[in-house]
Structure 1
Amino acid sequence: MPLEVFAVRKINWQPKADNIEAILRGMNLLPKSVLFIDDNPVERAAVKAAFPDIRVLGPNPYLWRRILLWAPETQVAAITTESAARTEMVQKQVERETQRKKLSREDFLASLEVTARLGEIASTVDGRFARALELINKTNQFNTTGKRWTQQEFAAFFREGGRCFVLDVADRFTAYGIVGVLLVAGNQIAQFVMSCRVVGMDVEIAAVAGVLQAMTARGAREIHASLVHTSANLLCRDLWERCGFLPAGAEQYQRIADPPLAAPAHIAFRLDPAPQPALSAAE
């Protein structure tokens, strides 16, 4: 494998556990989402001791290829455009985060030239649905409820009037594609998930601003949002308060529609018109 196919490279004399810690922190990854491969039992033991949730593979290198090809964790129903471009996106994320260290937060955000577009999916036959389903079922850290969905559950959700919004983001480094999904049921934002690739750019605020605009266009005046604490979703615990919501009981927040929430000034934001639903046979 050529060196260029690796998204992040750490080649030094530091302990491997230290390098892994730096990669996890820089990429916003959880240890349980990582596989460590090494033929040295001492290295495997050291990494496992530092990160008990990390998965390790060894000692027989002749089995690695078979395990990686056939393990349940590596099987997917489909490969979306965003997944196919993941290595390039992570490489650009590293480049972006390197730039962050050289500038103030305000100057850094202004330099990104961020564009964000919020669109709505009306059914499971929409071409963007596969990515939405993938994202909502693999996102742990920025996931306001932790709920996983089946395609059948989504079909029922659409039949009952649920709305699914998808967030598409780009900056001067790369086009990230669809990185966020927001589900709305009536006057409730039932769930919001977002890829860690765009954490720290404030695009989540633009997404919520767009959803609030779409909801108020249909008459919503008091809007509610759910937040269920999980062991992994620390990244989004303050989301609703940052968007002007107030606590309203267990796992609930609310805000009134006026004044409207504004997208951050450094983001060129667009809300696409709501589509006409094209329902599948199941819907």
Structure 2
Amino acid sequence: MTDAVGVGTVKCLVWDLDNTLWQGTLLEDGEVLLPRRIRDTIVALDERGILQSVASKNDPEHAWSRLVALGVAEYFVLPRIGWQPKSASVREIADELGFAHHTIAFVDDQPAERAEVAYHLPDVRCYPAEMLPDLLTLPEFTPDTVTEDSRQRRRMYQAGVRRVAARDEFAGPDEDFLRSLRMRMEIRVASEADLARVAELTQRTSQMNATGVHYSGADLRERLADPDQEVLVTTMADRFGPHGAVGVVLLGRHPGLWHLRLLATSCRVTSFGAGSVILGWLIDQAARAGTHLVADFRRTDRNRVMEIAYRFSGFAEDVCPCETALADAPDVERLHLVPDRRPEPSTMLLSAPELCVHDSA
């Protein structure tokens, strides 16, 4: 029987500990060892954006303290160490991460443990510990692209856990908690290294995509090479850590007119009003340049919130001679704005928290 099943990239690898991650059995040997090749595998998976967790039958405090002593505890999210069935541990990890079972992998030296997980969770991919030396060469552990956000995925997840825990402990109103996050936004011209993540944003974002149009890396690369077009990427961070790339702007420049072809933001930052802040920054930049703004909007069944953001920012269906510079687009609404200066970035608010916007272009 082949243990490993399924296709596609693994999102999370769940490790057994005894005689799998480390050499030896903790409760019998006391002093277990972490082979260098296992450490290298852990680090490499982390850099590829694959989350890692633990499902181990062990004393929780003893096992976790050993992971800390070995210098690898920080790499594991949602560890389940105790005496429940491994299938229950793997199920809890998948459910809390919100990952489909076919994106979860489990590695264990014991055939009986792998069989127990496979029986209860048939979509989870199970691997014997003997396969660990070859794990990094397997296609399911080799993403097609590794973006900066991929490399930060585990840190972003851990920051999110700390953020939620802090909110649960915070006694004041939401507005005060958001201010306490000290959120910062950076808007800059996308680099070649950003293109995969920017393309992903346009493809995965539906509620916060002003046109519903998706762009490939090749499309974006073509726009980067055009001196009359700009691809801008937005990143966010707060006191707990990075949110990663959360927004993209595609902008065409014409004499007296900036054409906002696309604004898309991650749904993860919708509650922070990131789209409105990006629009505010863009309007201020256009006002400084003395140019009008025209934004494309294509109505879909999910992006009503983007229309509201445009309307609240002052965009309207005014007809202006400046629009003659643009090619006809029958399926697109053109929203026009004569911009005025907006508050300085240091006083700009994002759903209450102060936001510092840095233009690195």
Please, what TM-score do these two structures have when normalized by structure 2? 0.54
Structure 1 window deviating more from structure 2 (241-250 vs 164-173): it is 241-250
2: CA distance between counterparts of 1:207 and 1:106? 20
Contact 2:292 2:339 in 1 (8 A): no
State the Cα deviation string for residues 46-89 of structure 1 (Å, max 9, x = none): 546xxxxxx63125454466355331662355653x43333223
> Distance in 2 between the 1:203 and 1:117 partners?
11
Q: Counterparts of 1:238 and 1:32 in 2: how far apart (Å)?
A: 32
C-alpha separation in 2, matches of 1:239 and 1:32: 33
- 2:261 counterpart of 1:189: yes
Question: Are residues 40 and 138 of structure 1, via their aligned partners in 2, closer, same or farther at CA, if it must alter by over 3 Å?
Answer: farther
Report the equivalent of 2:138: 70
Q: CA deviation at 1:163?
A: 1.4
- Residue 259 of structure 1, CA deviation: 7.1
Matched position secondary structure for 2:272: coil
Aligned amino acid, residue 181 of structure 2: L
User: What residue number does 1:272 align with?
Assistant: 359
Larger Rg: 2
Q: Percent identity at matched positions?
A: 15
Range that drifts further, 243-252 or 84-93 = 243-252
Shift of 1:133: 0.8
- Offset of 1:219 from its aligned partner? 1.7
> Do residues 256 (structure 1) and 337 (structure 2) align?
yes
Q: Residue 114 of structure 1: CA displacement?
A: 0.9
Residues 85, 150 of structure 1: alpha-carbon distance in 2 compared, 3 angstrom cutoff: closer
Deviations 1:211-256 (A, max 9, x none): 3333454622443334656xxxx7x662342453689896757463
In the alignment, which residue of structure 2 is the partner of 1:124? none
Distance in 2 of aligned mates of 1:192 and 1:78:
21
Whether 1:35 aligns to 2:101 is no
Contact kept? 1:223, 1:257, Cα under 8 Å = no
Aligned runs of 1:54-133 on 2, under 5 Å? Answer: 56-58=124-126, 60-63=128-131, 66=134, 68-71=136-139, 74-76=142-144, 80=148, 82-103=149-170, 104-121=173-190, 128-130=191-193, 132-133=194-195
1:186-226 Cα offsets, whole Å, 9 max, x none, are 52332424384x56433333223223333454622443334
Structure 1 vs Structure 2 CA RMSD: 4.0
- 1:223 aligned residue (273, 295, 312): 295
Q: Does 1:166 align with 2:246?
A: no
Whether the 8 Å contact between 2:296 and 2:335 is mirrored in structure 1 is yes
- Which residue, out of 57, 73, 89, partners 1:3? 73
Structure 2 unaligned regions, length at least 5? 1-20, 22-71, 108-112, 253-257, 318-329, 343-347
Does the 8 Å CA contact 2:192/2:221 hold for their aligned counterparts?
no
Do 2:236 and 2:242's aligned partners in 1 also have CA atoms closer than 8 Å?
Answer: yes
How far has the Cα of 1:134 moved from its partner?
Answer: 2.3
Contact 1:188 1:225 (C-alpha < 8 Å) held by counterparts? no
SS state at 1:97 partner: helix
Rounded to whole Å, the distance in 1 between the matches of 2:354 and 2:102 is 30
Preserved contact between residue 222 and residue 254 of structure 1 (Cα < 8 Å): yes
3-state secondary structure, aligned to 2:163:
helix
Q: Who is 2:95 aligned against?
A: 21
Q: Say which SS state the counterpart of residue 214 (structure 2) adopts.
A: coil
Q: 1:93 to 1:69 in 2, by over 3 A?
A: farther
- Using a 3 Å threshold, how does the CA distance of structure 1 residues 19 and 6 change in structure 2: closer, same or farther? closer
Superposition deviation, residue 10 in structure 1: 4.6
From 205, 208, 212, give the equivalent of 1:142: 205
Change (3 A) 1:256 1:42: farther
Deviations 1:145-186 (A, max 9, x none): 362423465224542722111213221112445443222235
How has the CA–CA distance of structure 1 residues 22 and 106 changed in structure 2, closer, same or farther, with 3 Å as cutoff? same
Contact 2:232-2:248 at 8 Å conserved across structures:
yes
Q: Distance in 1 between matches of 2:335 and 2:119?
A: 47
Separation in 1 of the partners of 2:120 and 2:160?
28
The question of whether the paired residues in 2 share the 8 Å contact of 1:120 and 1:164 is answered with yes
Provide the TM-score with structure 1 as the length reference. Answer: 0.66
State whether residues 110 and 266 of structure 1, in contact with CA within 8 Å, keep that contact through their aligned partners in structure 2: yes
The total of aligned residue pairs comes to 249
State the structure with bigger RCO (CA 8 A, min sep 6), 1 or 2.
Answer: 1
Structure 2 partner of 1:210: 281
CA distance in structure 2 between the aligned counterparts of 1:263 and 1:214, rounded to whole angstroms: 17
